[in-house]
A and B are shown apart, each in its own frame.
Chain A
């Protein structure tokens, strides 16, 4: 099965480390994929809140393009960014459930010579790795089991809500299972799907920082060495504001925040460069804890 890959804007800007690591992992696992030609912005959460129909049309263009690129059968379209994943999924579901919406959107797409027939399955890479490729197969490919590393998996809000696709809406476990398969130890914590602050960090920073702090503090308290995310915005929020939070709330938080694909890559034996490690602000500490017992020095 060949996947189509929709990068989305974030993975070409703040989330470059996500794209680099994701593509490297897909390659090393021999999962075939190709990038969606001429893709456009998904509209993110902001456009939907202004005009739903326009936003659907914008997102649906990507779905129609996917059908153009893959003429037969069901198409698995990987959308790594949580916002892209949600917006595309929402569009897919609405177009599926409401013929009048589909008709309206298609009449718009038709003008651009496009048409959406309903063959696209929007997939999150976490779902693809765990449920398509399989945890057992991943374990088989692990070169450097991450023994002793305590990982707090952070799913954020959009990947599991409002649509429940491959995991529980309030208590997801897929990333924890993946962490286990990589040989590391998942930390059980209750804030897996709590909001990271989203765009509040840029607008009402006080509120954004407070939300951020709750997550970081709790992960630290539960003994996590590292937090994993599956969303560029979550990663950015959690990583970039730690200094500010420490100053403002008199804390001493120092938590590396990585994309789950980066940790996968480390365990699979990929290089720092291949995984975009240099793009993380907290890389050195990550380097230290990825081999807490000195077992993995050769991997770097």
Chain B
């Protein structure tokens, strides 16, 4: 039985940004609430009208600002309220997945799920699973890495400048 772990004092907890479409997955999350299903408190939901609205930039932005995982929830194939927005999302996210791999963002930090309005239980399972998986991966910590890289670049620049100075001298 999967257990919902509560965050312990001072221990690191993954932060997951979830983009849920208004018609299926957001409604399913409401259903999970009405059904009083209990799931991990790590996901923060942003409501969009359609998973097709999710710009890949949103995902990269979330990671770069400190998210450890990003979840997108849309309607099942064939069920999109707007006919085919979810297919568009799927195509984009497959490309993005490849890019993220190159950026060193592990595959399991990003997930696209089809959850229909009636699948409150699925919202719970997916959020719990993802929280567990991301917790196992540990913090992504991109902001910190950015700072480090900036520092590295800076020192490199210094070094290069210094060398240039010496050469010029």
Chain A positions near chain B (C-beta within 8 angstroms): 97-100
Contact = CB atoms under 8 A, between A and B. Distances in A.
B2 interface: yes
Nearest to A100: B1
A100 to B, nearest CB: 7
Contacts of B3: 100
Contacts of B2: 99
Interface string B1-21: 111000000000000000000
Contacts, number: 6
Nearest to B1: A98
6 contacts: A97-B1, A98-B1, A99-B1, A99-B2, A100-B1, A100-B3
Nearest to A98: B1
Nearest to B132: A99
A279 B72 CA distance: 64
Interface of B: 1-3
Contacts of A98: 1
Nearest to A97: B1
A96 B26 CA distance: 30
A100 B2 CA distance: 9
A99 B3 CA distance: 10
Contacts of B1: 97-100
A253 to B, nearest CB: 49
A230 to B, nearest CB: 33
B89 to A, nearest CB: 31
Nearest to B2: A99
B37 to A, nearest CB: 18
A295 B31 CA distance: 68
Nearest to A101: B1
Contacts of A97: 1
A257 B32 CA distance: 55
B38 to A, nearest CB: 17
A99 B2 CA distance: 7
B13 to A, nearest CB: 20
A100 B3 CA distance: 10
A57 to B, nearest CB: 19
Contacts of A100: 1, 3
Nearest to B3: A100
A164 B2 CA distance: 24
A9 B2 CA distance: 36
A286 to B, nearest CB: 50
A99 B1 CA distance: 6
A98 B1 CA distance: 5
A97 B3 CA distance: 12
A234 B3 CA distance: 41
A152 B54 CA distance: 62
The 6 closest A-B pairs by CB, nearest first: A98-B1, A100-B1, A99-B2, A99-B1, A97-B1, A100-B3
Contacts of A99: 1-2
A267 B1 CA distance: 47
A97 B1 CA distance: 7
A105 B13 CA distance: 29
A166 to B, nearest CB: 27
A99 B129 CA distance: 13
A101 to B, nearest CB: 9
A104 B2 CA distance: 15
